Amino acid sequence: MLINLTEYFEVQGKHAEIEVPYEAKTFNDGFKDYDIKSRENLKLSIDNIGDGKLEIKGNMNVVLAGECSRCLEPVDVPVSLSFEISVVKPDGYHEIDEDEQYFMNGYELDAETLIDNEMIMSLPMKVLCKETCKGLCPVCGKNRNLGECGCDTF
Protein backbone atom coordinates (compact mmCIF):
# COMPACT_ATOMS: atom_id res chain seq x y z
CA MET A 1 0.00 0.00 0.00
CA LEU A 2 1.47 3.33 -1.07
CA ILE A 3 0.62 6.48 0.87
CA ASN A 4 1.16 9.79 -0.91
CA LEU A 5 2.68 12.23 1.61
CA THR A 6 2.71 15.30 -0.67
CA GLU A 7 -0.13 17.09 1.17
CA TYR A 8 1.54 16.52 4.55
CA PHE A 9 4.76 18.21 3.42
CA GLU A 10 2.88 21.33 2.22
CA VAL A 11 1.69 22.82 5.53
CA GLN A 12 3.98 23.23 8.52
CA GLY A 13 2.26 21.96 11.66
CA LYS A 14 -0.16 19.77 9.69
CA HIS A 15 -1.28 16.72 11.66
CA ALA A 16 -3.20 13.65 10.54
CA GLU A 17 -4.22 10.31 11.98
CA ILE A 18 -4.79 7.59 9.39
CA GLU A 19 -5.32 3.84 9.31
CA VAL A 20 -3.75 1.71 6.63
CA PRO A 21 -4.86 -1.87 5.92
CA TYR A 22 -2.17 -4.56 5.89
CA GLU A 23 -3.52 -7.26 3.63
CA ALA A 24 -0.61 -9.69 3.36
CA LYS A 25 -1.50 -13.34 4.02
CA THR A 26 2.06 -14.41 4.79
CA PHE A 27 5.21 -12.79 6.13
CA ASN A 28 8.81 -13.77 5.36
CA ASP A 29 11.54 -12.71 7.77
CA GLY A 30 14.31 -13.60 5.33
CA PHE A 31 14.59 -17.16 6.65
CA LYS A 32 11.08 -18.50 7.06
CA ASP A 33 7.50 -17.91 5.93
CA TYR A 34 4.82 -17.30 8.56
CA ASP A 35 1.08 -17.37 7.95
CA ILE A 36 -0.63 -14.27 9.33
CA LYS A 37 -3.44 -15.41 11.63
CA SER A 38 -4.75 -11.97 12.57
CA ARG A 39 -3.84 -8.34 12.14
CA GLU A 40 -5.01 -4.84 12.88
CA ASN A 41 -4.81 -1.90 10.55
CA LEU A 42 -1.60 0.10 10.80
CA LYS A 43 -2.38 3.29 12.74
CA LEU A 44 -0.23 6.24 11.68
CA SER A 45 0.16 9.68 13.20
CA ILE A 46 1.77 12.09 10.73
CA ASP A 47 3.14 15.48 11.83
CA ASN A 48 4.83 18.13 9.71
CA ILE A 49 7.55 19.36 12.09
CA GLY A 50 8.87 22.00 9.70
CA ASP A 51 12.06 22.30 7.65
CA GLY A 52 10.75 19.77 5.12
CA LYS A 53 10.44 16.97 7.67
CA LEU A 54 7.63 14.70 8.76
CA GLU A 55 7.53 12.74 11.98
CA ILE A 56 5.54 9.53 11.59
CA LYS A 57 4.52 7.34 14.50
CA GLY A 58 2.90 3.99 13.93
CA ASN A 59 1.58 0.99 15.77
CA MET A 60 -0.05 -2.29 14.89
CA ASN A 61 -0.53 -5.78 16.33
CA VAL A 62 -0.14 -8.97 14.32
CA VAL A 63 -0.36 -12.65 15.24
CA LEU A 64 1.78 -15.02 13.18
CA ALA A 65 1.47 -18.81 13.02
CA GLY A 66 4.85 -20.19 14.04
CA GLU A 67 6.36 -23.25 15.61
CA CYS A 68 8.25 -23.76 18.83
CA SER A 69 12.02 -23.75 18.27
CA ARG A 70 12.47 -26.66 20.70
CA CYS A 71 9.52 -29.05 20.20
CA LEU A 72 8.23 -27.88 16.79
CA GLU A 73 4.62 -27.64 18.03
CA PRO A 74 2.43 -24.92 16.46
CA VAL A 75 2.42 -21.68 18.44
CA ASP A 76 0.90 -18.22 17.99
CA VAL A 77 3.54 -15.51 17.74
CA PRO A 78 2.13 -12.12 18.78
CA VAL A 79 4.07 -9.20 17.32
CA SER A 80 3.46 -5.67 18.55
CA LEU A 81 4.81 -2.93 16.31
CA SER A 82 5.48 0.55 17.59
CA PHE A 83 7.81 2.89 15.74
CA GLU A 84 8.74 6.51 15.15
CA ILE A 85 10.45 7.63 11.95
CA SER A 86 11.44 10.92 10.36
CA VAL A 87 10.96 11.50 6.65
CA VAL A 88 12.69 14.26 4.68
CA LYS A 89 10.99 16.00 1.75
CA PRO A 90 12.44 14.74 -1.56
CA ASP A 91 12.77 18.19 -3.12
CA GLY A 92 16.48 18.36 -3.94
CA TYR A 93 17.17 20.83 -1.11
CA HIS A 94 17.29 18.28 1.69
CA GLU A 95 19.93 15.59 2.03
CA ILE A 96 18.25 12.19 2.06
CA ASP A 97 19.86 9.05 3.45
CA GLU A 98 18.28 6.41 1.22
CA ASP A 99 19.30 3.64 3.65
CA GLU A 100 17.16 5.29 6.31
CA GLN A 101 14.28 6.05 3.93
CA TYR A 102 14.21 2.65 2.17
CA PHE A 103 10.39 2.69 2.48
CA MET A 104 10.06 5.94 0.48
CA ASN A 105 9.76 6.37 -3.27
CA GLY A 106 9.60 10.08 -3.98
CA TYR A 107 6.63 11.38 -1.99
CA GLU A 108 5.14 7.91 -1.50
CA LEU A 109 5.57 5.83 1.63
CA ASP A 110 5.46 2.07 1.00
CA ALA A 111 3.54 0.95 4.10
CA GLU A 112 4.00 -2.78 3.42
CA THR A 113 7.80 -2.46 3.21
CA LEU A 114 7.83 -0.41 6.41
CA ILE A 115 5.59 -2.93 8.24
CA ASP A 116 7.67 -5.91 7.06
CA ASN A 117 10.91 -4.30 8.26
CA GLU A 118 9.41 -3.37 11.62
CA MET A 119 8.11 -6.94 12.04
CA ILE A 120 11.57 -8.37 11.35
CA MET A 121 12.99 -6.17 14.10
CA SER A 122 10.14 -7.06 16.50
CA LEU A 123 10.15 -10.85 16.10
CA PRO A 124 11.54 -12.82 19.03
CA MET A 125 14.94 -14.41 18.38
CA LYS A 126 13.55 -17.79 19.43
CA VAL A 127 9.88 -18.75 19.42
CA LEU A 128 8.90 -21.04 22.31
CA CYS A 129 5.58 -22.66 23.21
CA LYS A 130 6.54 -22.00 26.86
CA GLU A 131 9.75 -21.05 28.65
CA THR A 132 9.98 -24.52 30.23
CA CYS A 133 9.65 -26.40 26.93
CA LYS A 134 11.75 -29.59 27.10
CA GLY A 135 12.03 -29.97 23.34
CA LEU A 136 12.48 -33.15 21.35
CA CYS A 137 14.54 -36.17 22.41
CA PRO A 138 17.75 -36.04 20.34
CA VAL A 139 17.72 -39.86 20.08
CA CYS A 140 14.13 -40.85 19.19
CA GLY A 141 12.54 -37.46 18.45
CA LYS A 142 9.69 -37.75 20.98
CA ASN A 143 8.26 -34.50 22.32
CA ARG A 144 9.55 -34.57 25.91
CA ASN A 145 6.75 -32.23 27.03
CA LEU A 146 4.38 -35.18 26.55
CA GLY A 147 6.42 -37.54 28.73
CA GLU A 148 9.83 -39.16 28.98
CA CYS A 149 10.85 -41.60 26.28
CA GLY A 150 13.40 -43.68 28.21
CA CYS A 151 16.29 -42.99 25.85
CA ASP A 152 19.77 -42.44 27.28
CA THR A 153 20.47 -38.74 26.87
CA PHE A 154 23.24 -36.71 28.42
What pLDDT digit, counting tens, does each position of 66-96 carry? Answer: 999 999 999 999 999 999 998 888 765 656 6
Name the helix (H) or strand (E) containing 30.
Answer: none
| Residue 153 counted as domain residue | no
| Residue 9 counted as domain residue | yes
Q: Which domain holds residue 28?
A: 2-146
pLDDT given at position 126: 92
| Residue 131 counted as domain residue | yes
| Residue 91 counted as domain residue | yes
| Residue 154 counted as domain residue | no
| Residue 92 counted as domain residue | yes
Average pLDDT along the chain: 90
Total count of domains within the chain: 1
Rounded to an integer, what is the distance from CA 139 to the centroid of its chain?
A: 37
For the stretch 114-135, pLDDT in tens is 999 999 999 998 999 999 999 9
CA–CA distances in Å: residue 102 to residues 85, 87, 107, 149: 12, 10, 12, 51
